[in-house]
Amino acid sequence: MYFLTPDILPGILSLPELPTEIDLSFDLGKSTESAVLYQDRIELPGAILPYPQIELSPRDERSILKFNGDSWEKWQRYDDDTGRFYKMIFVETGKPPTVEISGIKMHVTMNSDPAEDTGRKLKTLGKSPRERVLDTCFGLGYTALALSEIPAVSSVTTVEIDPNMLALASESPWSRAVFDRDDISIKRGDAAEVIATFPDRHFSVIVHDPPRFAMAPQLYETAFYEHCLRVLESKGKMYHYTGNPNQKTRKTSLPEKTAERLRAAGFRRVKISYQGVLATK
- The DSSP code sequence of 49-103 is EEPP-----GGGTTB-EEE-SSSEEESEEEETTTTEEEEEE--STTS--EEEETT
Angle 275-276-278 (CA atoms, 0-180°, nearest 5)? 130
Cα separation, 191 vs 96, whole angstroms: 25
Q: List, for residues 161-210, the tens digit of each pLDDT value.
A: 999 999 999 999 999 999 999 999 999 999 999 999 999 999 999 999 99
Instruction: Write out 118-149 in H/E/C secondary structure.
Output: HHHHHHCCCCCCCEEEEECCCCCCHHHHHHHC
Residue 141: which of 209, 82, 54 has the closest Cα? 209
- Is residue 277 very low, low, confident or very high in pLDDT (cuts 50, 70, 90)? very high
Per residue in 27-64, pLDDT tens?
999 999 999 999 899 999 999 999 887 777 767 789 99
Domain 114-280 in CATH 3.40.50.150? The answer is: yes
108: confidence class by pLDDT, cuts 50, 70, 90: confident
Lowest mean pLDDT segment, chosen from 84-88, 123-127, 189-193, 238-242: 123-127
Q: Helix, strand, coil % (nearest 5) of the chain? A: 25, 30, 45
Which strands sit side by side in the sheet containing 3-4, from one edge to the other?
A: 3-4, 65-67, 72-74
Task: Give the integer Cα–Cα distance in Å for 85 and 147.
Answer: 28
**What does pLDDT average to over the chain?**
92
Instruction: Output the pLDDT for position 72.
Output: 94
Whether pLDDT at 155 is above 80: yes
- State the pLDDT at residue 35: 94
pTM for this model (two decimals): 0.92
Domain with CATH 3.40.50.150 in the chain: 114-280
Longest CA–CA span in the chain (Å) reads 67
Measured CA to CA, the distance from residue 258 to residue 189 in angstroms comes to 23
